[in-house]
Amino acid sequence: MKDIEKSLHNYHAQMSRNAAAAENGGGPAATSAAHHENVATPWLPFAVVGKVENGSPADVAGLHAGDKIVKFGSVNAGNFKDVTDIASVV
């Protein structure tokens, strides 16, 4: 879980830098990255299911290890910062 959280922090930091570069005239690549963040980020996975216990609510709902999470309540890749964001929705 720590590795996923660290990777997500790195990803969002890079996206923030790309958006800032686009706002400061960072050129077409930066503009493209900022556009991608604004349009497609909510459908990008921000977490991956690691393990699902038999009989658990996740199992009953049909989740499987390796499933990618693109939205959990109001949380998505565009606003996810860390696992406490998910805890605030539960």
Domain spans, the chain: 2-89
pTM of the model: 0.52
Q: How far apart are CA 36 and CA 65, in angstroms?
A: 28
pLDDT tens for the chain, residues 1 to 90: 666 777 767 777 777 776 666 666 555 444 444 444 445 466 899 999 999 999 999 999 999 999 999 999 999 998 999 989 988 888
Amino acid at 79: N
Q: How far apart are CA 37 and CA 16, in angstroms?
A: 9
Tokens of 75: 């949380």
Query: Whole-angstrom distance between the N-terminal and C-terminal Cα of the chain?
Result: 18
User: Distances in Å between the alpha carbon of 56 and those of 16, 66, 68, 83?
Assistant: 37, 16, 18, 20
The residues facing 72 across adjacent strands are 75
